[in-house]
Structure 1
């Protein structure tokens, strides 16, 4: 290992004197002349971005490595600066650490103050990308000139103090940054509620600030490259301090070491190691040829030693004063960043950030594989931080204030918002209730901070002409900081307010009465008249065919030895034309005897089975699915909720005539209007958002149903000012509420036990069941009753049979009654308590024997005449 103190003991002094004494143009001339006339095969520098582009282009042309321990970014693309080596950590890595810290503290927006230089602008470009990757916005971007006076700084700070955001990120040179913090303390911006973060452009030089500046920066959080402890580093610091005291004895000031000084030492060490690896080189072969570079730079020699030096330098690895030295793609390999907190007269380390481990309290050892694989984004890993104003709890990211929350007063739908106890002087309300208020209160539990708020009523005069748009316009007018209520997230409103994620179902839909029109002939609807006619003709045709096929069976002559069998009249072939119908009701009977008749009957049964199944399916569809169809007519009157956006949506987006619209403010009003109908001054349908529609259906069970398409809206949500940091916090909290177990209980508490937005079927199916009634099939019962009565009238035998049955029932009743009465009288007259019961019965028979009446004789004679033509077996 080369001892650089012996190799070049006065290197730093010589390098610094050159940079201080030479102007920029003179530096360019010196570098160019050295490359042209001297044997220069490597350049250490530049230190400023204005020199970088010129020197890098020269090095690229003559193949000479340009080595810089101060350049954190590059002005040229990596493809054009192969010979530019940066031995400092890239700013892109630092911006990732800053973004991770802001994300860990859950700050939605930050204010960035930076020095207006080329280097500052390049740093901001990296920072913007890093913040966008973690979804953090920028409220304000303040560019401060390097020569800015205190008056200019004070003016900028006063403007920033008027904004709600209290998170500030500072990237400036040390002298400008120290003046900024001293003025920030004077204007009251280093107090409770503010948060300040500094980059390593300031934090690397904290040791050089005075005590007054240090007091003004108390509570600031900063990051800087982490320099691990080592014995070599401690010994070097001792020698540095001793030499500085000797060299600066007249000034009485000791220059403290920082990361840049350590990177410079490690850069010279790496360069010396690379030169030793190359070894002796023939001086005659150091240059290949002369490069024609134009009249501007003259002729420059191309180095053959430069590529060798670049190759060996890129492969050099060692443990330096600043940590592990290793180059990757011409840049120093990223190491950890130290997170510290300015407290009192010093700094307190609170944690680290690494590219692979994220935010940690301690550096992860490579042996701990489980922790090394995880990336932490939580600032809970850090030690306790003391913020400005001696605040130990984390600031929420904006200036503390009491939020004015607007809530609407409405005459109906108080299940969503109900306002009482209004102070007439201030319009403040203390105890609003309802679904929206319960969601708001539950959301507060999931916020990472506590907020103070007060509810203020809108429409406290109970004006029926108020609208939600009027209430939302109070946010840009600074009347409210937030609106909590059943406010619909609608695109035209997004131009002047921001909305958090919705806490209810989204969509607008049409509602109609869930009542079918009375139709006593509905059972005939599944088949059209032509099919009914075809079925009837088919029955007649097949009946005739079967009658023809069965007729020869009864006319066959009787073969010798067979007994003559005469079928009853009911089984004669003349009645077989009814077989296609009777077989459906009495399949177990043998209707036919001919095998061809059986074949025809089987074909009929197959066709009848298909027709019956089709009839059943179509009737089911008519009674269920078809009832969900609804065709909107232009003659219908539509109801909408007053004060909502629905009226404008119907007239402007759906082009419905305003004369067909009627506004209502409550569920009861809608129900009454729907019950009366448009012919009686009511409405035919309701057009409203799904949460209100479900409340109506849940209250009146199966009297209403949703029909038609769902028109997209984003549901109900809380409104905020444009670009408010609260929007993101409430959106995340609302997700936890709506997807949590408390959502169902909140809904049922406000809307009733049957309401649930998490039920996938509840938005399309009513709570009641659609049962069939007698009315739907009354026509069928009328037909069956008519045919039955007609058959009874046409059948004389049936009438006589009924008359005979009625007469017999009357006789048995009379005989039984008279017998019991007579027996009681005989026993009483004879006074035979111990008499024989059989004798009493015989006496009873003698008393109750009654000759036949003329009516009974006539009935018997009529029956005899009817069966006179029958056989003896029939008798």
Structure 2
């Protein structure tokens, strides 16, 4: 009888794991892959264990079924993280929590996809962990696509147009920078990217910081990990890069470090003075306060880490899994797996042949996506991309020994001084609210916003193209004496005045265009900018074609215009009249101007008569029309006003203007001259008897010309 009794006892013991209570399994395995000794992983481990205990102590959550937590240490390594995931999944876990690292999450997501096991991460923020590539991946935290939009909004709020981004060279860092670059591009701002190795030495950090000082921008964005980021600020302090001319912005790794580290709480934050950072917003609640009090008890009992926001998200992740499993069991009733014949077997410790596909993976994933409850971190609900909704960040500022909240950012309402209900909108972004932040103490203790830019040590001078003209030298004059080139004139004076307005030094050098014997062609000058032969062009340059793909029109000077010169015939005598048209003078932030067009006519001694009354009658007359050599007027007349090229006559000087007009179209001259208003006014100022008549009209397209790589430099 004893063998029979022993056999029955073995059957009972071996079947305990599959015991069914009221049609439900007694135990369900869930897994977690974390880095135990990291700021995020250490806190998450304790939070997950607390959540599992709370779920199991509450019989109403799973109807008597218990969660069995199987946990492995990834050691912040893709290799060990993958091994840990295999080890957990061999034990037939039906859901996997973590990992905290985006790089590890990419690998484990592929594993979970293959076995149809939902992977729920409370800390992997890489935006490229998309639902299309990794359909079984869910994010119980906010994607960095939102954080980078918030960062770009802050940079734009303070008016900085160039930033230096220091980031860790892994999936988390690189993809975060990709999204920041994209967001800054929308706001016409430029980013210089500096990558650091995953485990950068202090010497490497010092080296890249030292080199970054040669670029010129003084606005830094730091996007690294909580466990290594402070070394960057420590190195920056050694290099005296935390002074009042600098701006330091940090993603939410900094708040995680400040909230978690016990040693930071005991020491002053001197080398972090003035730093502005982000913290994922967790709104106040009685449940949150109760958990924080409970954490303090655990901390006194020997827990190394203080509580951070990722602890709340990790705790809520367990509850989300438990609630989804309960819904799954209510509908499915059981948990089954199918063998995967494609996986090889092994005689080692890890046997891939034991890995099986979870038959109910798609249903459990569906139950997770349909969840809607309020946890410690706030509302828990997923969007169509498997991301947590309601992305809100606190904007913090280190001032003295304290960390202050200076505002908030919501994906729906943008920047604000306080949180309001509109911040939780789920529809299209609405920035009709006032974009405002509280007062910030910047590095050096000043409350005045830093300029954010200095002259770089290796700054190459801007190559400014200047037309070497043969006429109208009042605008640009070039003299060459003793091999010394000197430029002067009205356009040069305007350029220098604008340079003096810029709140930082800009080095430049003039590059002559043309030979001084004839006026240069401005279309060729524009092409020189586009082809990077020169960086910018000045000197009454008019752009009429759409060149926005190659050049930027930046803040220019008061508008000029186009006018038309035309003689009037009479049987008695000839003279000239000056009838000044309506003029427009304005500053235009986009760099486009309005050109004025009128007609210069003959004045008869006794009465006026002319077939030309304005631009329309001039075009309809079929008479020859003069234009200045090299001017854009030729292209404008042909392509803008559809005047046949055979009617156009090039004229190279004011003397040629006068002669052509006095001779008229019957004697080899012209009926009118189309030119820009400054040249005509200069012509009129030195010759009596000439003037302008006709209704003016406008044409956009005037401004200083810059190559696109200088799009952040505003003249």
TM-score (ref. length: structure 1): 0.54
Q: Per the alignment, in what secondary structure is the counterpart of residue 362 of structure 1? A: coil
Contact 1:292 1:300 in 2 (8 A): no
Query: Would the alpha carbon gap of residues 426 and 22 (structure 1) be closer, same or farther in structure 2, given more than 3 Å must change?
Result: closer
- Equivalent of 2:96 in 20, 40, 43: 43
What is the deviation of 1:261? Answer: 1.5
TM-superposition CA deviations, 1:660-716 (whole Å, max 9, x none): 96633x6x8844774478999x97578664323653697667767799xx9x99754
What is the deviation of 1:506? Answer: 8.6
Contact 1:100 1:377 in 2 (8 A): no
Q: Per the alignment, in what secondary structure is the counterpart of residue 301 of structure 2? A: helix
Contact 1:67 1:84 in 2 (8 A): yes
The equivalences for 1:692-703 within 5 A come to 692=678, 695=681
Query: Would the alpha carbon gap of residues 434 and 487 (structure 1) be closer, same or farther in structure 2, given more than 3 Å must change?
Result: closer
Aligned to 2:628: 640
Q: Distance in 2 between matches of 1:170 and 1:439?
A: 36
Aligned to 1:267: 317
TM-superposition CA deviations, 1:447-468 (whole Å, max 9, x none): xx96689999999xxx988979
Superposed CA RMSD in Å reads 5.8
Q: Distance in 1 between matches of 2:499 and 2:193?
A: 35
What is the deviation of 1:87? Answer: 0.9
Aligned to 1:336: 392
TM-superposition CA deviations, 1:721-760 (whole Å, max 9, x none): 6533555x55xxxxxxxxxxxxxxxxxxxxxxxxxxxxxx
Q: Distance in 2 between matches of 1:239 and 1:725?
A: 54
Aligned to 1:5: 50
Aligned to 2:31: none
Q: Distance in 2 between matches of 1:73 and 1:3?
A: 22
Contact 1:170 1:198 in 2 (8 A): yes
- Equivalent of 1:690 in 673, 676, 688: 676
What is the deviation of 1:286? Answer: 2.0
Query: Would the alpha carbon gap of residues 299 and 409 (structure 1) be closer, same or farther in structure 2, given more than 3 Å must change?
Result: closer
What is the deviation of 1:391? Answer: 3.4
Query: Would the alpha carbon gap of residues 30 and 345 (structure 1) be closer, same or farther in structure 2, given more than 3 Å must change?
Result: closer
Q: Per the alignment, in what secondary structure is the counterpart of residue 170 of structure 1? A: strand
**2:148 pairs with 1:98:** no
Aligned to 1:190: 242
TM-superposition CA deviations, 1:821-862 (whole Å, max 9, x none): xxxxxxxxxxxxxxxxxxxxxxxxxxxxxxxxxxxxxxxxxx
- Equivalent of 1:241 in 296, 301, 306: 296
Q: Distance in 2 between matches of 1:183 and 1:684?
A: 72
TM-score (ref. length: structure 2): 0.65
Q: Distance in 2 between matches of 1:29 and 1:411?
A: 77
Aligned to 2:33: none
- Equivalent of 1:70 in 111, 123, 126: 123
**2:181 pairs with 1:136:** no
**2:308 pairs with 1:258:** yes
Q: Per the alignment, in what secondary structure is the counterpart of residue 222 of structure 1? A: strand
Aligned to 1:310: 365
Query: Would the alpha carbon gap of residues 27 and 719 (structure 1) be closer, same or farther in structure 2, given more than 3 Å must change?
Result: closer
Aligned to 2:540: 486
Query: Would the alpha carbon gap of residues 306 and 688 (structure 1) be closer, same or farther in structure 2, given more than 3 Å must change?
Result: same
Q: Distance in 2 between matches of 1:21 and 1:151?
A: 24
Q: Quick check: which one's strand share is greater?
A: 2
Query: Would the alpha carbon gap of residues 468 and 256 (structure 1) be closer, same or farther in structure 2, given more than 3 Å must change?
Result: farther
Q: Distance in 2 between matches of 1:23 and 1:224?
A: 25
The equivalences for 1:453-852 within 5 A come to 486-489=540-543, 499-500=553-554, 511=564, 513-516=566-569, 629=620, 631=622, 640=628, 663-664=652-653, 670-671=657-658, 674-675=661-662, 684=670, 689-692=675-678, 695=681, 715-720=701-706, 723-724=709-710, 727=713
Aligned to 1:549: none
Aligned to 2:179: 126
Contact 2:395 2:406 in 1 (8 A): yes
What is the deviation of 1:264? Answer: 0.7
What is the deviation of 1:106? Answer: 2.5
Q: Distance in 1 between matches of 2:48 and 2:255?
A: 30
Aligned to 1:86: 139
Q: Distance in 2 between matches of 1:442 and 1:25?
A: 55
**2:168 pairs with 1:115:** yes
Q: Distance in 2 between matches of 1:696 and 1:428?
A: 19
TM-superposition CA deviations, 1:78-133 (whole Å, max 9, x none): 1353332221111212122122222222333322221101222222232233233x
- Equivalent of 2:405 in 345, 349, 361: 349
TM-superposition CA deviations, 1:622-658 (whole Å, max 9, x none): 787877655567xx9x6737x97889999xxx9999x
**2:439 pairs with 1:384:** yes
Q: Per the alignment, in what secondary structure is the counterpart of residue 183 of structure 1? A: helix
Unmatched tracts of structure 1, length 5 or more: 249-253, 420-424, 521-619, 731-875
Q: Per the alignment, in what secondary structure is the counterpart of residue 163 of structure 2? A: strand
Contact 2:78 2:107 in 1 (8 A): no
What is the deviation of 1:497? Answer: 7.7
Q: Per the alignment, in what secondary structure is the counterpart of residue 710 of structure 2? A: coil
Contact 1:63 1:307 in 2 (8 A): yes
Q: Distance in 1 between matches of 2:491 and 2:252?
A: 51
Query: Would the alpha carbon gap of residues 293 and 45 (structure 1) be closer, same or farther in structure 2, given more than 3 Å must change?
Result: farther
Contact 1:139 1:165 in 2 (8 A): no
Q: Per the alignment, in what secondary structure is the counterpart of residue 709 of structure 2? A: coil
What is the deviation of 1:363? Answer: 0.5
Q: Quick check: which one's helix share is greater?
A: 1
TM-superposition CA deviations, 1:114-170 (whole Å, max 9, x none): 1101222222232233233x2334342222112323333333223322223332221
Aligned to 1:322: 377
Aligned to 1:799: none
Structure number with greater Rg is: 1
The equivalences for 1:397-436 within 5 A come to 397-399=452-454
Query: Would the alpha carbon gap of residues 24 and 115 (structure 1) be closer, same or farther in structure 2, given more than 3 Å must change?
Result: closer
TM-superposition CA deviations, 1:200-256 (whole Å, max 9, x none): 1333212437588932332222112112223332332233233223225xxxxx412
Q: Per the alignment, in what secondary structure is the counterpart of residue 347 of structure 1? A: strand
Q: Per the alignment, in what secondary structure is the counterpart of residue 384 of structure 1? A: coil
Contact 1:291 1:302 in 2 (8 A): yes
What is the deviation of 1:352? Answer: 0.5
Q: Distance in 1 between matches of 2:48 and 2:98?
A: 21
Contact 1:428 1:455 in 2 (8 A): no
Q: Distance in 2 between matches of 1:155 and 1:161?
A: 10
